[in-house]
Amino acid sequence: MPEPLRVLARDGEHETEIQRSRFRCRLTRVTDADAAAEVVAAVRREHWSASHHCTALRIGPAAEIQRSSDDGEPAGTAGVPMLEVLTRRELTDVVAVVTRWFGGTKLGAGGLVRAYGSAVSEALDVIGTHRRARHTELLLAVPHADAGRLENAVRANGIRVTGVEYGGDVAIAVQVPDATAFHTWLAERTGGAVEAIETGTTDVEIADR
């Protein structure tokens, strides 16, 4: 099972000031490079008077699309450290735009690297992240006499219940990160009397603590 990646808890901005230069980081959830380009263009229009709009993005189920731009800052001092923060935090489907208003004091290459990296890192701390992991969807058909106890046991074990419908049997829909482990647990819990039918997969986001 692949390791879960993280996504933004929400879109947002955070601003810091370093030696009179302002660094405003906008973090936005995106699903493709075109959407990321639209975010960057919108930031440029909104803050047209700023000195630089440096960017970094990671997109895709395995963050296979990765790009960065220094936007006129010395090569490697802005986009690369921004991308390194996103990579270290294991984020995907995100574009970061750090807008800089020059305050009159040159920071030097090392200072720029720290400033742009910190702008993204601090914004992530404020906005928060969720873990995204692929889950298997299953449907359980349970006799009415046993449904309440089994549903309670499922919930007590931290298993996501996404629906309960009452008919000839009670249909309990669940999502689990490890289908094999769930089948084993269900067999032990019910003595093999209840079968779980796999109906698909979905990505589930869980808030980081």
Phi, psi of 124 (to 5 degrees): -65, -40
- Among 127, 144, 176, which residue terminates a domain? 127
- Among 127, 155, 189, which residue terminates a domain? 127
Same domain, yes or no: 194 and 103: no
- Among 101, 127, 153, which residue terminates a domain? 127
Higher pLDDT, 208 or 127: 127
**Average of per-residue pLDDT across 168-187:** 95
Per-residue confidence (pLDDT) for residue 3, from 0 to 100: 64
Is residue 130 predicted with pLDDT exceeding 50? yes
Same domain, yes or no: 80 and 156: no
Which residues face 138 on adjacent strands?
174, 198
The alpha helices in 89-196, defined as continuous H runs, are 108-127, 144-156, 179-190
Residues 152/127, Cβ–Cβ less than 8 Å: no
Same domain, yes or no: 36 and 80: yes
Same domain, yes or no: 137 and 189: yes
Share of residues in the chain with pLDDT > 70 (%)? 98
CA–CA–CA angle 89, 122, 83 (5° rounding): 45
Same domain, yes or no: 15 and 110: yes
pLDDT, tens digit, for every residue of 9-35? 999 999 999 999 999 999 999 999 999
pLDDT, tens digit, for every residue of 101-123? 998 889 999 999 999 999 999 99
For the four alpha carbons of 6, 10, 13 and 16, in that order, the dihedral sign comes to: negative
Domain CATH number, residue 144: 3.30.70.240
Q: What is the pLDDT confidence band of residue 208, given thresholds at 50, 70 and 90?
A: confident
SS3 (DSSP) at 187: helix
Same domain, yes or no: 118 and 166: no
Same domain, yes or no: 119 and 165: no
Per-residue confidence (pLDDT) for residue 139, from 0 to 100: 97
Same domain, yes or no: 58 and 122: yes
Same domain, yes or no: 77 and 176: no
DSSP state of 27: E
C-alpha closest to that of 125 among 81, 85, 69, 93: 85
Per-residue confidence (pLDDT) for residue 2, from 0 to 100: 54
pLDDT, tens digit, for every residue of 58-72? 999 889 999 999 999
Split into its structural domains, the chain has a count of: 2
Q: In the numeric block, which tokens belong to residue 19?
A: 């030696």
**Average of per-residue pLDDT across 144-161:** 94
Same domain, yes or no: 167 and 110: no
CA–CA–CA angle 24, 26, 31 (5° rounding): 160
Same domain, yes or no: 31 and 58: yes
CA gyration radius, the chain: 23
Same domain, yes or no: 16 and 88: yes
Edge to edge, what strands does the sheet with 94-101 contain? 12-18, 21-29, 94-101, 52-59, 65-69
Is residue 1 predicted with pLDDT exceeding 50? no
Domain CATH number, residue 71: 3.30.230.30
Range of the domain at 75: 5-127
pLDDT mean across residues, the chain: 94
Tell me how far apart the terminal alpha carbons of the chain are, to the nearest angstrom.
22
Is residue 77 predicted with pLDDT exceeding 90? yes
